[in-house]
Chains A and B, each alone.
Chain A
Amino acid sequence: MMNNENKIKLFLVDDDALFLKSLEIDFIGSADFDIETFSTGELCIANLSKNPDVIILDYHLDGIEKDAMNGLETLDKIKAFNPETPVIILSSQDKIDVAIECMHHKATDYIVKSETAFIRLKKVISEVLRFNKMEKQLKWYMERM
C-alpha cells in the first residue's frame, strides 16, 4: 500500500460493466494506477472525497437507466466539488458537437471508445498530470513573490 502514495488515483465511471471492466484491466496492467470503478455518476459523486487524481467518465451514463444522472450532469457536479479535478470524457460517439459540449462543461479531454481508447487515455492522463504539476510549480513561484 505504500506505493499507493505514488500511484495515480483513478476513478472510472461507466454503466457499461463490460467496458468498465476491460478498461480496469487495461489500467491494472499498467500498474501506475490505483483504480476505483463506479457504475453510476451518483456513486462517483459520493466518493469524490477520496480525491481522485483523474476521473474517466462515460458520456452516456443514462443509456439504460432512464433516471440516472448523465455524464454531463456528473461532470458539472465533479467540477463543483473540485474544479481542479481533471475529467476525461469517454464516449462511443465520435461527434464533434458532443465533444464541444463536453469541453464547454470543462472536461479535460474527449475520447471515443475504441480499441485505442486506452492508449489515448493513458497519454491524456500523463499529459494532464504533467500540466497540473507545471501549474503547481507556477503557483508556488507566484506565492513566493
Chain B
Amino acid sequence: MKNTLTRDFKYARSLIEASLDPLVAINAEGNIIDANEASIKVTGYLWEELVNTSFSNYFTDPKKAHEAYLQVFHKGLVNNYPLTIKHKNGDLTDVSYNASVYRDDNGNVLGVFAVARDITLQKLALDLKKANEELVSQNKLIEKRANELVIANKELAFQNREKEKRAEELVIANEELAYQNIQKRKQKIVNKKLEAFNHDIKLDSLYSLSLIEASLDPLVTISSKGKIMDMNEALTSITGLTREELTDSDFLDYFTEPQKARNVYEEVFAKGSVADFPLTLRHKNGKLTDVLFNGSIYKDEKENVAGIVIVARDVTEQKRVAKELTEAIIFSEMATIIAEEAKEKAEKDRLIAQDAVKAKQQFLSNMSHEIRTPMNAVIGFTKVLLKTDLTPKQIEYLRAIKLSGDSLILLINDILDLAKVDAGEMVFEQTPFKIALSISAMLHLFETKIQEKNLKMTTTYDERIPDVLLGDPLRLHQIILNLVSNAVKFTSKGEITFNTKLQKEDEHEVIVEFLITDTGIGIADSKIETIFENFKQASSETSRLYGGTGLGLAIVKKLVELQRGSIQVISKINEGTTFRFILPFQKTKANPEVEMELEEYDKVISNVNVLVVEDIKLNQLLMRTLLDDFGFDCDIAANGRIAIDKMQTKAYDLVLMDLQMPEMNGFETTAYIRNIMNSDIPIIALTADVTTVDLAKCKAVGMNDYITKPIDERLLYSKMLVFIKKADEVSESDVKLLNDSVNIKCTNLQNLNTRTKSNQVLMKEMISLYLEQTPILISTMKQSLIERDWKVLQATVHKMIPSFSIVGIHSDYENIAKKIQEFASNKLQTEDITDLVIQLEKVCNQACLELLEELDTYKNTNDE
C-alpha cells in the first residue's frame, strides 16, 4: 500500500509543482503547510521560510486575505477573490484566489487549499476590455453627448428663434408700452387741463365777483320784501354804511324820496324791469349822489320771483360833463360873437386904414394941386414982371420971390415923389430915348446959373454908349437935376464936372456910370452916412445957408435903387464931393420919342393960333402973357365944351389943354377931338400932377405931349415949336408918325411882378394867357356891338374887367368897361357905347402889343 500511495503521491506532487499558479495549503490556524514552486517565486521566500508562516503575511492586504481564508472555512470555498501578493523585494502581483477546504476522509476540515492565479495579464486584458468598454461607453457617451448637443443646438436654435420672437414681441410690447405711456401722459395733460379749467372756472367766478365788487355803480339785490340781500362795495361807499348795516335793511330808506323810490321799485315788479330812472341816493353824512336807477327782477329755479337786482348808475360825472358842455357851448357862442365882433372890428379897422391911406394920398394930391396952382401964377407973373423995366432993387426982390417960389414947388414935388416911393407907386417907364441928347438938354438948364456963379462946367460923354436906350428919361433927369443942382449950390469957386462912362455892355443891357464932381464945401465923414436919409442935410448950417429941403438926395437914392442901380458918394471937406451912380438900361431897336429939342428963342414964328383950355383965371392970364411973349396969338376957353365950340368955328395950330376942369375935362375933350371931330391938331397937356398914370392917360386919349406946371417958358416954347414946325410941313405920314410915337405904355406889370415874386415862368404864363384870351374877347365885343347883342356884349366886357388890374391897365379903362356893361344891361343904345368900345379895343390892342414885346424880352433873357 505505501508504495502505491507513495507513487500516487509523487505524481500528484509533480503536478502541483508543475503548476504555474502558486498553490498553498493552509491549516486551520492559517499557517502555510505547503507551497509550490510558483508560490516561492512569487513571494521570494524559500519554502522553508514559507511553511508555518501565516498565509496572510504575504499579501498587501493581510486583513482581506484573512477574511478570504475565514470565508473559505465558513463557506467551503471562495472563487476569484482578488488579492495582491507582495514580493520580498517589493514587487506586487495581482492574483485571483480560488480556495476550497480540504477535508479528511471523515469529512473533517483539515485545511484550505488555495490556488492563486496570476491575474496581472488577465487583469490587463480586463483592464483593456474595461478600457474598451469604457471607450465604447465613452464613445457612446460622446455620441450621446453629440446627439445631445445637436439636440441642444436645435434646442438652442429653437430657443434663439423663440428669443427672437420674444424680442420682437418685446419690441412690440415696448411700442405698446411707449404708446401707453403717451396715452398716460396725455391723460395727465388732460387731467391737468381739467384741473386748470376748474381753476379757471373758480377764478372766473371770483373774477365776476371782483368785477361786481369793482364796479363803481352800486349793485344790490333786494328781496321781494324790499330788504337788501346782497350788495357790492360801491353801495357801501355811496351810502357810507357797512355791509352788515345794509344787509336786511330797507333799501328804499337810502333815497331822498323814498316814496318815489318805492314807486319805481313796484314798477320793477310790475313790469319786470325799469331803466334809467333818475333818483338821488343819500350818504350817511348827507352827501347826495344822483343816480340812474336800473332794476330787473330775478327768479329762482322754480321761476318764482326771488327779488330784484338793481344797478344805480352814478351820473354825477355825466351831469358835470353836461354842465361843462353847456358852458362850452355858451363859451363857443360867445367866442363866435367875439370873433364876429373882432371880424367886424378888423373890417372896420381895415376900412379906416384904407381910408387913412386914401386920405393921405388925397391930401397930398390936393395939397400939391392947391399950392401949385397959385404958385404957378406967382412964379409966372414974377417972370413976366422981370421982363419989364425995373430998378435994380425991384429986380433983386422979384428974383427973391421967384427963387422962393421955385424952391416951394421943388419941395412939393419932392414930397409927392417920396410919398409915391413909400406907397410903392413909383413907376418907371421903359421908353426908348436918346440918352446923350437928354443929358445935354438937362445940363443946358444949368448954364445960366453956372455963369452967374462964375463956375466952370466940363462934360465928358462916353461915345460907346448906344444912341437909343430903353429907360425912364424923366427920372434920369430928376436924378441928374438933383445932383447937379446940389453941386452948383454948394460950390462957390472952381468947376463942376459931369462924366458918363459905359461900364458894361452885353446883348440886352448896358450899365452906364455917371460921375458928378464939384469943388464945393464937401461933406464931413460923419455925415456921409446920413445924407441919403429923408430931411437930412450935411449940417443944419447948410440948410440955413443954402436952403433946400433935404429930400433931394433921399429921392435920388430911391430913384436909382428902384431902377436896379446904385449910388455912392466920396467927399472931402472943403475940397469937394463926387457922386457916382450907375444905372442899367435895356437896349432897344425902337425909335425914340420925339426929342424935346430946345429951339432957340430968337426964331420968330408968326401967325400961330393957340387955343388955351384952362379954367383958372390966373393961369389963363399967365398963359396969355407967355404966348404973347412968344409972339403967338391965343384964345382962351374955360372948359372943354367951350374949347370944342371954339374949335368948330376957328382953326387953331395947337391946343394947350389943362386936365382938371369942370363940365368937360381935358381927357374927355381930347377924346372928343380925336374921335368925334377926327382932328389931328397937336394937343399939349398942362398938368400939375406929374404921375405916370396921368401921362399914360394923356397918351392914351391921344394927346401929343405934356408939360408940367409951373411952366418953364423955354420948355413950353420949344415943345410948341416942335409941333408947329411939324404942322408946317403937314403930311399924312408925319401925323401918323406922331401918333405912333405916342407910346407911353398902357400896361404896367409891376403889380404882377410883385404878385409872382418876379417868377418869370409865372409872368410868362400870365402874359401868354392874356394874349390868348384878349383878342377873342375884343372880337366878340365888337361883333356883339355890331349885332346889337347886348347880352353877349355885357358878358364879354364883364369878362374883360379883371384883366385890367392884372396887367396894370389904368382903372379908367376898367370904369369904361363897367360903363359899357351898364349900358348893355340896360340896353341903352347910345353914341357913347360905340365910343367906349373903341377906346377899350384900342387900349387892349396896345396892351397886347406891349405884352408881346414883354414876352419876347423874357424869352431873350431865358435864352441867355
Residues of A within 8 A of B (CB): 15-19, 21-22, 25-26, 29, 60, 62-64, 92-93, 113-115, 127, 130-131, 134, 137-138, 141-142, 144-145
Say whether B769 contacts A18, CB under 8 Å: yes
Say whether A142 contacts B801, CB under 8 Å: no
Say whether B325 contacts A93, CB under 8 Å: no
- The answer to whether the Cβ of B511 comes within 8 Å of any Cβ in the partner chain is no
Q: Knowing A16-B802, A113-B801, A141-B329 are in contact, say whether A22-B796 is a contact too (CB < 8 A).
A: no
Say whether A138 contacts B329, CB under 8 Å: yes
Say whether A18 contacts B321, CB under 8 Å: no
Q: Which residues of B contact A142 (CB under 8 A)?
A: 325
Q: Which residues of B contact A115 (CB under 8 A)?
A: 751, 805
Say whether A18 contacts B802, CB under 8 Å: yes
Say whether B799 contacts A145, CB under 8 Å: no
A131 to B338, CA, bound (A): 12
Q: Which residues of A contact B806 (CB under 8 A)?
A: 18-19, 22
Q: Which residues of B contact A138 (CB under 8 A)?
A: 328-329, 332
Say whether A145 contacts B772, CB under 8 Å: no
A-B contact pairs, 29 of them (CB 8 A): A16-B802, A16-B803, A17-B769, A18-B766, A22-B755, A22-B802, A22-B806, A25-B762, A60-B798, A62-B795, A64-B796, A113-B801, A114-B802, A115-B805, A127-B339, A131-B336, A131-B339, A134-B332, A134-B335, A137-B328, A137-B332, A138-B328, A138-B329, A141-B328, A142-B325, A144-B321, A144-B325, A145-B322, A145-B325
For the complex formed, measure the closest distance between the CB of A97 and the CB atoms of chain B, giving whole angstroms.
12
A87 to B772, CA, bound (A): 29
Name the residue on A nearest B766 (C-beta): A21
A64 to B772, CA, bound (A): 14
Q: Knowing A25-B762, A134-B335 are in contact, say whether A19-B755 is a contact too (CB < 8 A).
A: no
The 8 closest A-B pairs by CB, nearest first: A19-B802, A63-B795, A92-B801, A141-B325, A113-B802, A18-B769, A63-B799, A115-B805
Say whether A22 contacts B799, CB under 8 Å: no
Say whether B798 contacts A21, CB under 8 Å: no
Say whether B755 contacts A29, CB under 8 Å: yes
A115 to B750, CA, bound (A): 13
Question: Of residues 748 to 789 in B, which have CB atoms within 8 Å of A's CB atoms?
Answer: 751-752, 755-757, 759, 762, 765-766, 769-770, 772-773, 780
A113 to B800, CA, bound (A): 11
Name the residue on A nearest B770 (C-beta): A18
Say whether A92 contacts B802, CB under 8 Å: yes
A115 to B335, CA, bound (A): 31
A138 to B769, CA, bound (A): 45
For the complex formed, measure the closest distance between the CB of A119 and the CB atoms of chain B, giving whole angstroms.
9
- The answer to whether the Cβ of B343 comes within 8 Å of any Cβ in the partner chain is yes
Q: Which residues of B contact A16 (CB under 8 A)?
A: 773, 799, 802-803
Say whether A29 contacts B325, CB under 8 Å: no
For the complex formed, measure the closest distance between the CB of A87 and the CB atoms of chain B, giving whole angstroms.
19
Q: Which residues of B contact A22 (CB under 8 A)?
A: 752, 755, 766, 802, 806
Say whether A114 contacts B762, CB under 8 Å: no
Most buried by B among A15, A19, A22, A127: A22
Q: Knowing A25-B755, A144-B325 are in contact, say whether A63-B796 is a contact too (CB < 8 A).
A: yes
Q: Which residues of A contact B335 (CB under 8 A)?
A: 134
Most buried by B among A18, A25, A29, A93: A18
Please tell me which one of the listed residues B329, B343, B770, B795 contacts residue A64 in the complex, with CB atoms under 8 A apart: B795
Residues of B within 8 A of A (CB): 321-322, 325, 328-329, 332, 335-336, 339, 343, 751-752, 755-757, 759, 762, 765-766, 769-770, 772-773, 780, 795-796, 798-799, 801-803, 805-806
Q: Which residues of A contact B759 (CB under 8 A)?
A: 25
A24 to B539, CA, bound (A): 51
Q: Knowing A25-B762, A134-B336, A141-B328 are in contact, say whether A18-B322 is a contact too (CB < 8 A).
A: no
A119 to B762, CA, bound (A): 19
For the complex, would chain B's binding face be called helix, strand, loop or mixed by DSSP majority?
helix
Q: Which residues of A contact B773 (CB under 8 A)?
A: 16-18
Q: Which residues of B contact A17 (CB under 8 A)?
A: 769, 772-773
Q: Which residues of A contact B325 (CB under 8 A)?
A: 141-142, 144-145
Name the residue on A nearest B343 (C-beta): A127
Name the residue on B nearest A91 (C-beta): B798
For the complex formed, measure the closest distance between the CB of B698 and the CB atoms of chain A, giving whole angstroms.
23
A144 to B802, CA, bound (A): 49
Say whether B765 contacts A21, CB under 8 Å: yes
Say whether A64 contacts B765, CB under 8 Å: no
For the complex formed, measure the closest distance between the CB of A15 and the CB atoms of chain B, giving whole angstroms.
8
A16 to B756, CA, bound (A): 18
For the complex formed, measure the closest distance between the CB of A91 and the CB atoms of chain B, giving whole angstroms.
9
Q: Which residues of A contact B769 (CB under 8 A)?
A: 17-18, 21
A138 to B332, CA, bound (A): 8
Q: Which residues of B contact A64 (CB under 8 A)?
A: 780, 795-796, 799
For the complex formed, measure the closest distance between the CB of A37 and the CB atoms of chain B, giving whole angstroms.
12
Name the residue on A nearest B342 (C-beta): A127
For the complex formed, measure the closest distance between the CB of B632 and the CB atoms of chain A, giving whole angstroms.
45
Name the residue on B nearest A23 (C-beta): B802
Say whether A25 contacts B803, CB under 8 Å: no
For the complex formed, measure the closest distance between the CB of B108 and the CB atoms of chain A, giving whole angstroms.
162
Q: Knowing A134-B335, A142-B325 are in contact, say whether A18-B803 is a contact too (CB < 8 A).
A: yes
For the complex formed, measure the closest distance between the CB of B794 and the CB atoms of chain A, giving whole angstroms.
9
Name the residue on A nearest B772 (C-beta): A17
A75 to B260, CA, bound (A): 57
Name the residue on A nearest B752 (C-beta): A22
For the complex formed, measure the closest distance between the CB of B692 and the CB atoms of chain A, giving whole angstroms.
18
For the complex formed, measure the closest distance between the CB of B204 and the CB atoms of chain A, giving whole angstroms.
33
Say whether B798 contacts A93, CB under 8 Å: yes
Q: Which residues of B contact A19 (CB under 8 A)?
A: 802-803, 806
A138 to B334, CA, bound (A): 13
A131 to B796, CA, bound (A): 37
A134 to B755, CA, bound (A): 32
Q: Which residues of A contact B803 (CB under 8 A)?
A: 16, 18-19
A2 to B795, CA, bound (A): 42
A141 to B329, CA, bound (A): 8
For the complex formed, measure the closest distance between the CB of A127 and the CB atoms of chain B, giving whole angstroms.
6
A26 to B772, CA, bound (A): 21
For the complex formed, measure the closest distance between the CB of B322 and the CB atoms of chain A, giving whole angstroms.
6
For the complex formed, measure the closest distance between the CB of B752 and the CB atoms of chain A, giving whole angstroms.
8
Q: Knowing A18-B766, A21-B769, A25-B756 are in contact, say whether A114-B805 is a contact too (CB < 8 A).
A: yes
Say whether B766 contacts A25, CB under 8 Å: yes
A138 to B336, CA, bound (A): 12
Q: Which residues of B contact A93 (CB under 8 A)?
A: 798
A5 to B759, CA, bound (A): 26
Say whether A63 contacts B321, CB under 8 Å: no
Q: Which residues of A contact B756 (CB under 8 A)?
A: 25, 29
Name the residue on A nearest B346 (C-beta): A123
Q: Which residues of A contact B770 (CB under 8 A)?
A: 18
Say whether A92 contacts B798, CB under 8 Å: yes
